[in-house]
Amino acid sequence: MRIRFSPFYLFFLIGILLIAAVVLRVEKKETEHKIVVVIPQDPDYLDPHLASAAGTYEMMFNVYEGLLKPAPDGTLLPAIAERYDITEDGRSYTFYLRPGVKFHNGQTVTTADVRYSLERLMGTQTGQPLSSYFTKVEAVETPDAERIILKLKEVDAALLNNLTTASIIPKDYQELNTHPIGTGPFRFVEYRPGQRVLLEKFDDYWQTGRPFLDKVEFRIIPDREAALLALKNGTVDIYPRIDNNRTAELGEDFYTLRDKQNLVQLLAMNLNRKPFSDHRVRQAVNYAINKDELIELAAFGYGTKLGSGLSPAMANYYEPGLEDFYPPDRAKAQQLLAEAGYQDGFRTVLTVPSNYPFHVDTAQIIVEQLKKVGIKVEIELVEWAVWLQRVYKGRDYEMTIIGLAGKLDPLPTLIRYTSDYANNFFNYKNTEFDRLFQQAADESDQEKRAELYKKAQRILAEDAAAVFLMDPHYTVALRKEIAGYQTYPLYIQDLSTVYRVSKKPR
Amino acid sequence: MRYLPGKIFSCVLTLWLVSLLTFIVFQILPGNPAQIILGAEASPEQVAALEKELGLDKPLSLRYIHWISGVFRGDLGNSLRYARPVRGLMVNSLKVTLPVAGMAIIFIVLFGIPLGLAAGKYHWHKRGVLLSVVTQLGTAVPSFWLGILMMLALAKLFSYFTPGTFIPWDEDWLGALASLIPPALTVALPKVAVLTRYVGAAFVEEESADYIRTAFGKGLAEKKVFSNHLLKNILISVTTVLGLMGTDILGGSIIIEKVFALPGIGRLLIEAISFRDFPLIQAIALYLSGVVVLLNLLVDLSYSFLDPRIRWR
C-alpha cells in the first residue's frame, strides 16, 4: 500500500482554519455608546502629580480636574472652584469651592482635599516638591468649608494657568497610580500595559448632561501603519495626530479636523560650540532656512510658521511678525557667514531623535537647504533615551531638532531660554531676556505681562537663539459618525463633548 | 542518572551568566530612566523626585544585588517604566506570546512534517520540484512583509482581522484566540518552509540508507518501512530543528508583534530597553535565556527516547 500525501488535505486544513477564524469572530453588535481612541504609547504615571508625559495628560484630562480647567480657546473655565477673587496686590487668591462636586469614589470634594492636593504638589509635608509651578505659593489656607486661600510670597501671574494642571485628588488616598480617582467626566476602569486604558461615564459629574459617552477606550498601538489600518477597519474611531500625508487615503467614512497644536518645532544650535557661538552664524542659518518650503515638504502644508519660542496658538502672548524676521535670503546668509570668517561654510552634525519621524523628515530638508549656503550637515540619528541624556541634559551636541510643547501660560515655555535654567540646552544667555522674563513673572497685570513676553520674544529672534521652524498642525481623523470633538491649543483629548450621531442623547 | 543534576547546574549557571552580562551591558548604556519616563517637558524637580522614588540614586551594582537576591525569593521587583510588579507585566505579555508561539508550533508540525515527507517522497517528481521552489520562496520572504501582506489580505478580503484588536482573554477568549491566528500563521509560514526542506532532505538521505534497503529486502510493506524505520530516524533531526525554532518563537517576534500591534514579550522588551527599565530587562533576559536553556535540555532528553543508542549515564 502506498502512502498518499495529498496536497488537498493541506489546503483543506488551511481553509478550515480560516473559516473557523472568521466564524469565531462573529461580529459583536455594539450596544454601548463607546468610542475607541488610538494612542501611540503607554501612560507614564496614572498618579497625576507624578505624571509629566503629554501623552498621559491628554488621556487623564478626562479623569482629573483642577480648580480651574482650560477651555478649547485657551481661556480658563471654573471647575472645582466655582469662582475666585484676587486681591489688589496679587498676593492672595481666594477660591470658592463648587458645592457638591463628587470624587469617583462617591465622596464629596472638601477644601481639605484641595489643600492636600496642592500641598502634595508643593511638597509641604515631604520637602520634595512634585512640581515647580507652585514655588511662589507660601501657604494654602482653608478657613472654612467653602474657601481655599492661596497666599503668595510674590506675584505669580502664571498661577491661574498652572492650577489647571494641579489635579485635585482625595485626601490621603494612596492608590492613585493603580486606581486613579478624580472628579472628571469619566472615571478610570482599568489600565492594561501595552493594551489599553478604559474609562467609563461618571454619573455624578458636576456638569449635568455631560459626558454623552458611556465608555471611552484608549487603545495603545505604537505602530503608525497598524494604527491607520485599525482606524480604516473600524477597530478605532478617532486617530489623533495622524500623519498629514495619510489623510487622503481615508475615504468617505472619515473626516479630519486641524488646528495649531501649540508646539514649537525648532532647530537648536549649541551656543557654547563654535561656530554657533557667533551670532552672525546663527543668523546666517536662519536666513538660509526656508520655512515655507519646510512646511510644504515636511508637513504637507499643514503648519504655521514661527519666529520665536512661542506658537501663535498663544494668541495673547505671541509677538506677530517675528516669523518673517529672517526671510529666506541665501545671499545675506553667505555674506554673514563670510563676515564671521566662514566664507567657505563649515561642517556640522545635526542630532535628531529617531523616534520622531517628523523631526527626521524635517532634518533631511534642512540639510539640503543649508547645503546651498555651504554648510555641510551630517544627520546623526539617536535613540530618544540617548537624546535626553546627551543632548538635552548633557548639552553635548552641535545642532538638534525637537518640538517643545507649549502650555496655557508662556512662562514654562520661555523659562527654557533663561540663563540659569537647568534645561536650557540651547546654552542661551542674555541678561536683557532674563530681566524681561523675571519682570513678566512678577507682573500681575495680564496686559503688561503680555507686552513683556512679546519684547522677550523679539530678543530671542534678534539673537537667533534658535531657528524657530513651525507649529505643525495637529490633525485628528474621526469616523463620520462621531461629532462634538473639540480641538485645544494643548495636548488634550476632551471626550466629554463627543458622541455618536446615532446615539446622541435627546 | 548523574546526567540530570549536572545539566541542571549548568543551566542555572548559564542563566546567572546571562543576567550578569545584561548587567554589564546596562552599565555602558547611556540614558536615565527617570528622564525618559518624564520626557523633555518635565521640570528638573520632577526628575529628581522620580529618581529618588525609583531608587536610581543608588549605584547599579547595589540595584543588581538587590534584584538577584529578590529573584531567589521569587520576587522579580518593580518595573520602572510601568511602576508595577514585573511579574504581572511578564504574565500579561506571555498570555499573548505563548499562545501565538503554541499555535505557530502546532502549525509548523502540522504542515511542515507532512509536506516535508511529500517533498522527500516526490523528490524526483514535478510536484517535488514545485514544492522545493515554493519552500525556497517561503524561507526567503521576510516576516514583516509577510505579516503586512497577511494583514492587508485578511483585512481587505474578509474584513476579519484588524491590528490592535487583541481582546483580553478574560473578556472574550474565543475572540482573543481568533485574533492571534494570523500572527501565528505569519510566524509559522517561513518556518514551515524551512522544516519542509529539512524533512525532505532528511527523507532523501535516509531513503538510500542501507537499513531501508534491508527492511525492503526482508519484505516489509512500504508503509511499515516508512513509519517504523524511516520516520523514526528522521524524527531525531526534526527534533533538533524544532528545538531551535521553539527558542526562536517563544522569544516572541519583535517584528510580528509590531506589525500586528500585539502586546507581547517582544514589544515589552523594546519598551523596557528604550526606557532603560533595568528590572524589566533583567526579567525578560532571564525568561529568554530560560527558554533557550530549557528547550535545549528537553531536546537533549528527548534524544534518549527517540534513539535507543543514547541513554542517560
**In this complex, do A235 and B165 lie within 8 Å of one another by their Cβ atoms?**
yes
Residue A506's pLDDT band, with cuts at 50, 70 and 90, is low
Q: Which pLDDT score, from 0 to 100, does residue B138 have? A: 76
Which tens digits make up the pLDDT trace of A100-110? 899 999 899 99
Residue B289, Cα to own-chain centre: how many angstroms?
A: 11
Q: Is the pTM here over 0.95, yes or no?
A: no
Say yes or no for a CB contact (<8 Å) between B40 and A193: no
Q: Average the pLDDT over B14-34 and give the result.
A: 83
The per-residue pLDDT for B171 is: 72
Whether A194 and B93 lie within 8 Å, measured CB to CB: yes
Supply the angle between the helices B60-72 and B278-306 in degrees, to the nearest 10.
40
Among A100, A63, A54, smallest CA distance to A179 is for: A63
Is the Cβ of A321 closer than 8 Å to some Cβ of chain B? Answer: no
Contact B263 A193 (CB under 8 A): yes
Q: Judge contact between A359 and A264, C-beta under 8 A.
A: no
Average pLDDT over residues B174-193: 82
Contact between chains at B45 and A192 (C-beta distance less than 8 A): no
CB contact under 8 A, A402 and B40: yes
- Whether the per-residue pLDDT at B97 is higher than 80: the answer is yes
Å between A24 CA and nearest CA of chain B: 6
**CA–CA gap between residue B107 and residue B99 (Å, rounded):** 12
Give the CA count within 13 Å in the CB-facing half-sphere of A227: 25
Q: Do B148 and A225 touch (CB under 8 A)?
A: yes
Q: What is the mean pLDDT of residues A35-61?
A: 86
Average pLDDT over residues A433-457: 88
A466, A267 contact by CB (below 8 A): yes
Cα separation, A428 vs A433, in Å, equals: 10
Mean pLDDT of chain A: 87
Assess B162–A contact: CB distance below 8 Å, yes or no.
Answer: yes
The reply to whether residue B31 touches residue A385, judged by beta carbons under 8 angstroms, is: yes
- Residue B267 forms contact with A (CB below 8 Å): yes
Give the percent of chain B with pLDDT over 70: 94
Query: In sequence order, what DSSP letters do the residues of A222-285 get, joined into one string?
Result: --HHHHHHHHHTTS-SEEET--GGGGGGG-TTEEEEEE---EEEEEEE-TTSTTTTSHHHHHHH
CA distance A74 to B91: 43
- For position A369, what pLDDT does the model report? 93
Select from B114, B115, B163 the Cβ nearest to the Cβ of A230: B163
User: What length does chain A have?
Assistant: 506
A4 Cβ under 8 Å from any chain B Cβ: no
Residues of A in contact with B159 (CB under 8 A): 233
**Cβ neighbours of A178 in B, within 8 Å:** 84
Between chains, do A226 and B261 touch, taking CB under 8 Å as contact?
yes
Predicted confidence at residue A165, as pLDDT, reads 87
Q: Which amino acid is at B55?
A: G
Chain B residues inside the 8 Å CB shell of A222: 258, 261, 267
Question: What is the pLDDT at residue A96?
Answer: 92
- Mutate which: B41, B135, B256, vs A, most A CBs within 10 A: B41
Q: Which of residues 31-70 of B touch A (CB under 8 A)?
A: 31-32, 35-46, 49-50, 52-53
**Across the interface, do A230 and B164 touch by the CB < 8 Å criterion?**
yes
CA–CA dist B29, B273 (Å, integer): 10
Contact A2 B222 (CB under 8 A): yes
Question: Of B31, B53, B114, which has the smallest distance from its Cβ to A5's Cβ?
Answer: B114
> If you count residue pairs, one on A and one on B, with CB atoms under 8 Å apart, how many are there?
187
Put simply, the answer to whether B44 touches A13 (Cβ < 8 Å) is: no
Find the CB nearest B82 among A24, A193, A423. A193
Q: Which residues of A touch B266 (CB under 8 A)?
A: none
Nearest to A221 among B83, B164, B181 (CB): B164
Name the residue among A228, A78, A372 with its Cα closest to residue B163: A228
> Best mutation site among B162, B170, B177, B270 for testing chain A: the one with the most A CBs within 10 Å?
B162
Helix (H, G, I), strand (E, B) or coil at B200: helix
Judged by DSSP in three states, A378 sits in: strand
Q: Compute the distance between CA of residue A207 and CA of residue A79 in angstroms, rounded to an integer.
A: 9
* pLDDT band (50, 70, 90) for residue B199: confident
Q: Please give the distance of CA A371 from its chain centroid, rounded to a whole number.
A: 32
Answer yes or no: do A24 and B42 touch at CB < 8 A: no
- Between B155 and B31, whose confidence is greater? B31
**Whole-number pLDDT of residue A380:** 93
Q: What is the average pLDDT across A416-435?
A: 90
For residue B117, name the pLDDT band (cuts at 50, 70, 90). Answer: confident
Provide the chain A residues 359-388 that lie in CB contact (below 8 A) with chain B.
383-386, 388
Q: Is the pLDDT of residue A30 over 60?
A: no
CB-CB under 8 Å, A226 with B259? yes
Q: According to DSSP H, which parts of A307-356 are helical?
A: 330-339
Mean pLDDT of B183-210: 85
Residue A3: predicted pLDDT: 47
Query: Is some CB atom of chain B closer than 8 A to the CB atom of A422?
Result: yes
Contacts of A356 in chain B (CB under 8 A): none
Whether A226 sits inside 8 A of B44 (CB atoms) is no
DSSP class of residue B227 equals I
Taking the C-alpha atoms of residue A477 and residue A483, their distance in angstroms, rounded to an integer, is 12
Which residue of chain A has the CA closest to B221? A1
Q: How far is A88 from chain B (nearest CA, A)?
A: 30
The band of A328, judged by pLDDT with boundaries at 50, 70 and 90, is: very high
CB contact under 8 A, B45 and A3: no
A22 contact B CB<8A: yes
List helix spans (H) across A164-223.
Answer: none
What pLDDT is recorded for position A377?
93
Q: Which residues of B touch A393 (CB under 8 A)?
A: 32, 35
> What are the chain A neighbours of B87 within 8 Å (beta carbons)?
none
Residue B224: closest CA among chain A residues belongs to which residue? A1
A389-423 per-residue burial string, b: 16 or more CB within 10 A, e: under 16: bbbbbebebbbbbbbbbbbbbbbbbbbbbbeebeb
Q: Does A266 have pLDDT greater than 50?
A: yes
Instruction: Check residue B64 and give its pLDDT.
Output: 83
Distances (CA, A) of A484 to A61, B47, B237, B257: 17, 37, 63, 34
pLDDT band per the 50, 70, 90 thresholds, residue A1: very low
Q: Among B112, B94, B103, B111, which Cα is nearest to B241's?
A: B112
Encode pLDDT of A218-234 as tens digits.
998 888 888 888 888 78
Mutation target for B interface from A1, A5, A50: give the one with most B CBs within 10 A: A5
Q: Do you find a cis peptide bond into B190, omega within 30 degrees of 0?
A: no
Which tens digits make up the pLDDT trace of A10-26? 666 776 776 666 555 55
Of B38, B164, B166, nearest to A52 by CB-CB distance is B38
Residue matched to cell numbers 537533549: B300
Min Cα distance A227 → chain B (Å) is 7
3-class secondary-structure state, position B137: helix
Picking from A180, B51, A478, A9, the residue whose alpha carbon sits closest to that of residue B42 is B51
The average pLDDT across A349-370 equals 92
| Nearest Cα residue in chain A from B28 | A386
Instruction: For residue B86, give the chain A residue with the closest CA.
Output: A193
Q: Which of residues 90-129 of B touch A (CB under 8 A)?
A: 92-93, 110-111, 114-115, 117-118, 121-122, 127
